[in-house]
Amino acid sequence: MTKNSDCKKFYVIGLNYKKADVVTRSNFSLSKENQKLLLSEAKLQNINSVIILSTCNRIEIMGFAKHPFQLISLLCKYSKGTVEDFAKVSYVYKNSDASEHVIRIATGIDSQILGDYEIVGQLKDAFNLAKQAGTLNAYLERLFNVALHASKETKNKTSLSSGTTTVSYAAIQYIKDHYSKKQPQNILVYGLGDIGQSTARSCSEYLKAHTITVINRTNSVAHDLSKEVAINVAEHDELRDKINDSDIVIVATGAANPTVLSDMIPADKKQLIIDLSIPRNAEPQINELENTNVIDVDVLSKKTKKTIEERKKQIPLAEEIIQKYKSEFYEWLMFRRSTPAINSLKKSLEVIQQDAISTHSKKHQQMNEELLENVTSQMINKIVSKFAMHLKSENTQANQSIKVMKDVFDLETTEN
């Protein structure tokens, strides 16, 4: 570490879905512009190593500071949150706990939906923004690299991310399982609240072979969504016609009473109705229609609950991977901290070497100085190598060993 971080510790300060509701999280969220301003001010305050992670489920600042309040103050300054509100729902991790926390986030074990790896992309974005702002040091770069490797191994060697975990994605999986091998289907998504928009996006991403159309009572919402994803937009007064044209109708409206009625359903074609609304927005009489298959949230929720239970069984394996990469990170950190002491030891021994050669040269004129220097250099390298191996040993108290060597050889080392 640089001299600027000599008296600083690594902290992670933040709040997440576990204690902070969506309103509180929204108050502390940071826009991209404010994230850039925060990073710039952090540099002005001599807080040179900072990363910001701001998502819908968590807001965190990771960095080196003399006190965590420096990071908390920056968060409150550039968000709508207050220190008082932060204190009620927050957490603060320090040093090794903070580093492990970052690794845990990357593996998906700390996600709101167990095993959700969307956080990995968000971590990469946070890392890249900090890199552009010049607020990364070697410690943070190495930690993020280790965290991403832990994430990859968790995904490859466990089933922590397998199966469906949301009803909207469970709907997509149902379509893939039962309709993806058929000819292209016309899919209608009716209602574009949070669930409807999420479902429409997933349809566009995972059901590319099919034609996706959306309808929403507020038409501007549908058009705004069509600018982001590959979907068609129909007007609300076209609902009956579009239901008639569709093979699959996904209902995600938030009305108190049914919005898709039995007389809207064509009698002469097979049709799948997926009702994601609570209460149900597909009229109950639709269930009685001969050619219509109705799937509701209760059916889909059974799939998601089963998935979560299966994922929980993978937690012990994920924990082993986390500890493995935590140990790897601290082995690197310990070696990095001991490098100045090792280099200083070598210089000190070289001074002793040159003094010895000079003394013997005066006494023994015929002595082969080059041979003596080669032999003693080999001895120095062996001593330094032994010291380095000693510091890397699991049973070594490295700081104490470095202090002893410093006292014995009058080493000049840089504290971390």
CATH of domain 3-160: 3.30.460.30
200: left (phi over 0), alpha (psi -120 to 50) or beta: alpha
Q: Which amino acid is at 76?
A: C
* Domain extent listing, the chain: 3-160, 167-309, 340-409
Which DSSP state fits 282?
B
Tens digits of residue pLDDT in 155-194: 999 999 887 677 788 888 889 888 867 788 999 999 998 8
So what's the pLDDT on residue 112? 79
Note the pLDDT of residue 415.
42
The closest alpha carbon to 196, from 271, 285, 264, 274, belongs to 274
- The rounded distance, in Å, linking the Cα atoms of 367 and 364 is 5
Q: How is the beta sheet containing 58-65 ordered, strand by strand? A: 50-54, 58-65, 9-16, 91-94
Task: Report which DSSP code applies to 287.
Answer: G
Where residue 416 falls among pLDDT bands split at 50, 70, 90? very low
pLDDT digits (tens, 9 = 90+) for 104-118: 999 999 987 788 877
In 182-314, where does DSSP find H-type helix?
A: 194-206, 219-226, 239-245, 297-312
Confidence band for 411, pLDDT divided at 50, 70 and 90? low
pLDDT score of 44: 94
The neighbouring-strand residues paired with 50 are: 63
User: What letter represents residue 45's amino acid?
Assistant: Q
Q: Which two tokens stand for residue 190?
A: 């009716």
Rounded mean pLDDT of 87-104?
96
Residue found by looking up tokens 């579009």 in the block: 242
CB 79 within 8 A of CB 14: no
Residue 306 makes CB contacts below 8 A (sequence gap 6+) with 163
Domain 167-309 = CATH 3.40.50.720: yes
Q: Evaluate if residue 268 carries a pLDDT over 50.
A: yes
Task: Label residue 399 by pLDDT band (50, 70, 90).
Answer: low
Distance CA 86, CA 75 (A): 9
- At residue 102, φ and ψ (nearest 5 deg) are -65, -40
| Averaged pLDDT, 205-234 | 93
Residues forming beta bridges with residue 54, ordered by sequence position: 59
Query: In 3D, which of 126, 25, 34 has the Cα closest to residue 81?
Result: 25
73 by Cβ neighbours in 10 Å (0-12 / 13-18 / 19+) ranks as middle
d(CA 309, CA 314): 9
Chain CA centroid to CA 287, Å: 42
pLDDT tens column, 308-365: 888 999 999 999 999 999 999 988 887 776 666 667 767 777 776 677 767 766 666 5
Strands annotated E in 243-323: 248-251, 271-275, 292-296
Mean of the per-residue pLDDT values for the chain? 86
Question: Which pLDDT value is given to residue 241?
Answer: 96
Residue 48: per-residue pLDDT: 80
Lowest mean pLDDT among 11-15, 74-78, 229-233, 374-378: 374-378
Q: Band the pLDDT of 366: cuts 50, 70, 90.
A: low
CA atoms within 13 A on the CB side of 63: 33
What pLDDT does 118 receive? 76
Q: How many alpha carbons lie under 13 Å from residue 29 in its C-beta half-sphere?
A: 13
Residue with tokens 């300054």: 77
Contact between 36 and 50 under an 8 Å Cβ cutoff? The reply is no
pLDDT of 189 reads 97
d(CA 239, CA 139): 56
Task: Give pTM, 2 decimals.
Answer: 0.64
pLDDT tens-digit readout, 36-47: 999 999 999 999
Determine the residue type at 311: R
The residues annotated with a catalytic role in the active site are: 56
pLDDT of residue 285: 95
Greatest alpha-carbon pair distance for the chain in Å reads 114
